[in-house]
Each structure stands twice: as structure tokens, then as C-alpha cells.
Amino acid sequence: MFSTEPRCDLLLLDQYLVICENRGISAFLIFNKVDLTADLDSLEQELAIYQRIGYPVIRTSAASGIGLDQLESKLRGHTSILAGQSGVGKSSLTNALIPNRQQRTAELSQGSLHGKHTTTTATLFHLPGGGDLIDSPGVAVFGLADISESHLAAGYREFGPLLPHCRFNDCRHLADKGCAVRLGVENGDIDRARYKRFLKLREKLPGKSGCPPRGS
């Protein structure tokens, strides 16, 4: 879940999606605060790529009620968790869906437009329309502790069809000869910004820090 205020952190979004892909969790994106129009178009452009690779995007406003019906039907019959940066409106959206169980929410910090980490524990709610929803504390940093290099690549779902075509089984998808992923980036099949975030996350994997891969 994300918003324009605080500004969506796409690297964090990718990390969530990598975890979901590797754990078999079906993910969709919630773009909240669509009542705020500043920067809306630029974020929509970034989102188009996620839609293209098959992640549904639901646009909501906890403030005005936009998209709540659509979200409710998406959540029905499932146990779901709202995950995202502090201040994107996870608790506000939970409150909008369950009007009689008000969770604490908070204004963004003055001046910084950052969230305040208002929610400190995860809480599960039964939705009136069916299904369960977990409101969780916002995260600023996120670990990929138990993710290996190959799990990371598998976490970028658009790489999937290309991975078997890399020339070498242990291809790192950097400057390796015959890398189908890199070729995909060059010919536009894979979004370059997503690929760059893959490289960034790769650097953050345990044992990778301070040791830039050759050729990238």
C-alpha cells in the first residue's frame, strides 16, 4: 500500500513483492489517498509497469471513500495484510472498512511529510463483508535476510519466462555473457527502472555489502 504523500518508495514496494513471490502470497497494490492530486500522474506512470506485469492496482481514498467497495470485494474470503510505509493510511483504510473498530491514526509529521509510526503492533480484524484484515506497523527499512540471489531474481516475476534462457545456470544477470534478462532490458521487454532496483536490492543481500559486482 502506498500514496503520493508520503511519496511511494518503489524499492520498498519491490522488496514486498519479492517476499510475496517467494512465499506464494498473492499480492495486489493499493494506491491510497487518490483524493490528493499532486504527483498523481507521475506515480500512475510508475504503476503502469506493475499493472503490465500482472499486479492489480486498486485506487482508494480512506478520506473520501473512493474504491472501498472494490477493495472490500477483493478482500472477501481471504486473510490479508496491509503493508507499507508509515503514514500511507493503512489504519485509516482499516477504519473505513470497519467503522466500529477505530484504530489510532496520525497526521504526517510537520514539514517532513513522513509518517510517525503510529501503529506499533499488527492487529487482525474480521471484515463485516467477510475475510480478515491485518493492519500492520509501517516499515522504514526492510530486510531480505533469508532471500538468496536466485530467490531475488525469481521475485521479479517478469524475469521468470527469461531465466531459463540465460546461457549459464548460475547467471547473476549482471554483465554475464548470454544473459536473457539483460537482453530483455535492452530490447524493452523488461522495465529498466525495475531492473535497476533488482541490482540495488542485490547489493543489499547479506554478504553483498561493500562488494560491488564486477561489470555492473
Ligand X SMILES: Nc1nc2c(ncn2[C@@H]2O[C@H](COP(=O)(O)OP(=O)(O)OP(=O)(O)O)[C@@H](O)[C@H]2O)c(=O)[nH]1
Residue 6 binds ligand X, judged by CB under 6 A: no
Q: Which residue has the cell 514539514?
A: 111
Near Mg ion by CB under 5 A, which window of 62-70, 110-118, 195-203, 205-213?
110-118
- Tell the smallest beta-carbon distance from residue 43 to ligand X (Å): 14
CA–CA separation, 125 and 134 (whole Å):
6
Site residue total, Zn ion (CB under 5 A):
5
Q: Which three cell numbers stand for residue 20?
A: 510475496
Q: Please identify, among the stretches 58-66, 157-165, 168-176, 180-188, the one whose residues bind ligand X according to the rule CB under 6 A.
A: 58-66
User: Residue 157 CB: number of other CB atoms within 10 A?
Assistant: 15
* Cβ count within 10 A of residue 16: 19
Which stretch in 14-22, 42-50, 121-129, 177-185 sits in contact with Zn ion by CB under 5 A? 177-185
How would you classify the pairing of strands 132-135 and 123-126? antiparallel
- Does 4 contact ligand X by CB under 6 A? no
Applying CB under 5 A, does 3 fall inside the site for Mg ion?
no
Cα separation, 27 vs 23, in Å, equals: 11
Q: Number of residues in contact with ligand X, rule: CB under 6 A?
A: 25
Query: What does the DSSP assignment read for 94-123?
Result: HHHHSTTSPPP--PPPTTT--------S-E
| Closest to 119 in 3D by CA, of 87, 80, 141, 95 | 87
Q: Does position 189 bind ligand X by CB under 6 A?
A: no
The interface region with Mg ion, picked from 34-42, 52-60, 76-84, 114-122 by CB under 5 A, is 114-122
The answer to whether residues 88 and 82 touch, using CB atoms and an 8 Å cutoff, is no
Among 10, 20, 27, 63, the residue binding ligand X under the rule CB under 6 A is: 63
Q: Which residues of this chain interact with Zn ion, rule CB under 5 A?
A: 166, 171, 173, 179, 181
Q: Which residues of this chain interact with ligand X, rule CB under 6 A?
A: 32-33, 35-36, 61-63, 86-92, 105-108, 115-119, 137-138
Q: Which residues of this chain interact with Mg ion, rule CB under 5 A?
A: 90-91, 118-119
